[in-house]
Homo-oligomer: A and B are copies of this chain.
Amino acid sequence: MKNFELVKKNGNARLGKLITAHGVVNTPCFIPDATLAAVKTLSISDLHDINMEIILGNTYHLIIRPGMEIINNAGGLHKFMNWNGPILTDSGGFQVFSLGKIRKITEEGATFRDHLSGNKITLTPEKSIQIQKILGSDIMMTLDECVDANRDYKYFKKSVDMTLRWEERGLKEARNGKIGNNSGQQIFGIIQGGKFEDLRRYSLLKTTQMDFDGFAIGGVSVGESREDKYNVLSWIAPLMPADKPRYLMGLGYPEEIIEGVKRGIDIFDCVIPTRNARHGQLFTNLQLNSFEDYKYDILKIKNSKYKNDFSLVDETCDCYTCKNHTKAYLHHLLNINEILGMRLMTLHNLRFYMRLMERCREII
């Protein structure tokens, strides 16, 4: 089944449609984290209200809570959380590397202790796919090794080859005919190689020779400089298969997303809008005239200058928060640690990111 429709190009930037078993997503798109089967603070109807089309579940977190038995009994993640739109799940690899206590990586896979109970978990390329079949996500990610940006060329070279072998195993498991809680699952491969152009090109070549439904650029949110990130994007994004969706994992700030769109990326995800919202950091005053001419502001609502500021949060925004509440009110809600405050700010930041993507699509 064709899973990507290219509608229009503008330079390297692509306007398209990502087609999944749970609906079509307009690209370029941004995916918010629903780490533990909920976009923190928001209901499903809130997500619909801000035109959210797709969400991301974290395999590592969901293994631990609520656990696969419960999600399987529910009939998959869609039914468990009552979200009927597309879901992308990660492989668990990134969280293993960033959160797992004591981890050991071998050719077989990754063994680690979970951050809550300390229980030992082994995640292999096959196991990751088996879990994602139970989750029933629309897009599964293959297990890869995420490498700290500070490791040397030699380590990266070895790692890229192991990830390629893991990808073959993951792909084989995905295509083995066994169906979990979603018969229309896709699987994406991941291009690694750090900041090294030859390794990235090698990984791109080898990964795209495999029968994946889409391709992702991994390892750009683990410590690289912004220049390194943009270099990787410039080398790789335009060479990724034109007929398949292209996903940049784990980025980022609005300017990083714009730079990604410009270079031909279709899909983004990041914790920034939701996590920053809960800490009182709001993205405001979006002005995106072209991929070269854009600006926005960051408003730190806890700043005492907002205590008596009865203007709306962001005059340029159409979200519920901005249509109804003042900076002074949000400042007060954050000050008293009121849940409603975190929710109103999450809603705003995600709507900001949705508007950012809408503007990107208009420009293309």
Q: Which residues of A contact B (CB under 8 A)?
A: 36-45, 65-66, 69-70, 73-74, 80-82, 307-308, 310, 320, 324-326, 328-329, 332-333, 335-336, 338-344
Contacts and interface: CB of A to CB of B under 8 A. Distances in A.
A326 B70 CA distance: 12
Contact of A82 (B37, B65, B308, B329): B329
22 contacts: A36-B338, A39-B340, A40-B338, A40-B339, A41-B340, A41-B343, A43-B324, A43-B340, A65-B332, A65-B336, A66-B307, A66-B332, A66-B335, A69-B308, A70-B332, A73-B308, A74-B329, A80-B326, A80-B332, A82-B324, A82-B326, A339-B342
Given A37-B329, A43-B324, 5 more contacts: A36-B338, A40-B338, A41-B340, A45-B320, A74-B328
B320 A43 contact: yes
B81 A329 contact: yes
Contacts of A341: 38
Contacts of A342: 339
Given A43-B344, A310-B73, A339 B336 contact: no
A169 to B, nearest CB: 31
Given A40-B339, A335-B65, A338-B38, A80 B344 contact: no
B80 A41 contact: no
Nearest to A347: B43
The 4 residue pairs across chains A and B that have the minimum distance between CB atoms? A66-B332, A41-B339, A38-B340, A339-B339
B73 A329 contact: no
A70 B307 contact: yes
